[in-house]
Amino acid sequence: MKELVIIKLGGSVITRKKQSPPTTDRRNLSRIAKELQQDLRQKLIVLGGGAHGHQAAHAYGYGDPATPLPRLLEGVPRIRHSMSVLALEVEEEFNRHGARVVVVPPFTQAVVRDGKVLDFSLTTIQRIFQAGFSVITHGDVCLDEDGVPSILSGDTLIAYMARNLECRQVLIGTDVDGIYDSNPESNRDAKLIPVVNAANASELLAGAGPSAGTDVTGGMSKKLSEVLEIAHKHTEVIIFNLSVPDRLARLLQGEQVVCTRILGQ
Ligand SMILES: Nc1ncnc2c1ncn2[C@@H]1O[C@H](COP(=O)(O)OP(=O)(O)OP(=O)(O)O)[C@@H](O)[C@H]1O
Ligand SMILES: [Mg+2]
């Protein structure tokens, strides 16, 4: 297989996370489709839940430990449907721009307990890559061996994929320039941190907060703790602003942009 790049498309950019009912941001999607086409490497694209995932999950009590199992189970079809709608819209738009990409939903591939991946069948994904396609997968509701559902976040999934597939670059796109010393949504003086390393990681984890929109999986603090696990010297891990045109394209071409680089711990 040719070199693989793993890219997270933050739900905060590809959907309108603060609006209900969920809709995709068509302008951003079509721009991102064009930026992706500037790099011929095969791609594993992970979609965040955005409005589609987080709102449906929230409506059925995901994120609240007191929610009874029957209520969680009742929500499974709606969350699945909502995430499938998002994934198919993205697939259609990217293929319209020549991406040769197919959706692989975690629900059918993964065993997940309390949001942690116990197993994810990578043979399917590897076969798809061998045939020359790129893959879209996404945050999803998944079941454990006993049929208990929980939310697999896009950030957890990207960390799992980066650990288990050989890749040189992991690009995590969201709606802010990277990791700040405190939540930029609530603190205008928040400063962007260009590099996260062993020296500042724990301090930053303490300053990272929840998402500004509905987010059942923990916003930036969860994202940071997941990505800290995958950075090592052969893998470049970057959190960047996907809502700013051209940053994705430039990162794919190896250029420097405003972002946070996560260095191996
Ligand atoms: N220290 C911090 N640095 C940067 N952003 C932060 C920090 N603390 C909290 N945030 C919030 O995290 C948000 C990004 O996380 P969020 O989960 O909303 O986006 P996403 O991961 O792109 O979306 P999705 O989870 O749907 O994929 C920012 O918009 C910001 O409000
Ligand atoms: Mg998030």
Q: What are the tens digits of pLDDT across the range 80-135?
A: 999 999 999 999 999 999 999 999 999 999 999 999 999 999 999 999 999 999 99
Could you tell me the distance, in angstroms and rounded to a whole number, from the CA of residue 132 to the centre of ligand 1? 33
Check: CB of residue 137 under 8 Å from CB of residue 45: yes
Q: Whose CA is nearest to atom 19 of ligand 1?
A: 12
pTM for the whole thing? 0.95
* Rg for the chain, CA atoms, rounded: 17
Residues 6+ apart with CB under 8 A from 201: 224, 228, 265
C-alpha distances out from residue 42 to 120, 130, 169, 225, Å? 20, 10, 12, 26
Residue with CA at minimum distance from ligand 1 atom 11: 211
From the number of C-beta atoms within 10 Å of its C-beta (0-12, 13-18, 19+), residue 206 rates as exposed
Q: Which residues of 84-106 are buried (b: 16+ CB within 10 A; e: fewer)?
A: bebbebbbebbeeeebebbbbbb
CATH superfamily to which 4-262 belongs: Acetylglutamate kinase-like (3.40.1160.10)
Domain-wise residue ranges, the chain? 4-262
State the distance from the centre of ligand 2 to the C-alpha of 137, rounded, in angstroms.
15
- Is the predicted pLDDT of residue 3 greater than 90, yes or no? no
CB 61 within 8 A of CB 69: no
For strands 116-120 and 42-47, give the pairing.
Answer: unpaired
Neighbouring residues of 223: CB distance < 8 A, sequence distance ≥ 6: 155, 172, 174, 208, 239
Best substitution site from 177, 188, 220, 242 to test ligand 1's pocket, by max atoms within 8 Å of Cβ?
220
Residue 2: pLDDT over 70: no
Distance (angstroms) between ligand 1 centre and the Cα of 129 equals 30
C-alpha to C-alpha distance for 35 and 39, rounded to whole angstroms: 8
Q: What is the pLDDT of residues 182-233, one digit of tens each?
A: 889 889 999 999 999 888 988 888 877 677 676 777 678 888 888 888 877 6
What's the CA gap between 77 and 208, in Å, rounded? 32
- The ligand 1 atom at the shortest distance from the C-alpha of residue 180 is 3
Give the ligand with the smallest distance to the CA of 51: 1
Q: Ligand 1 mean position to 211 CA, how many Å?
A: 5
Where residue 175 falls among pLDDT bands split at 50, 70, 90? very high
Predicted pLDDT at 265: 63
Q: Reply yes or no on whether the pLDDT at 25 is more than 90.
A: yes
Give the CA distances from residue 161 to residues 86, 137, 157, 183, 223, in Å, rounded to whole numbers and listed in that order.
Answer: 20, 10, 6, 27, 14
d(CA 76, CA 15): 20
Show the ligand 1 pocket: residues with CB < 6 angstroms.
Answer: 10-12, 17, 48-50, 54, 154, 174-176, 179-180, 182-185, 207-209, 211-213, 215, 219-220, 223
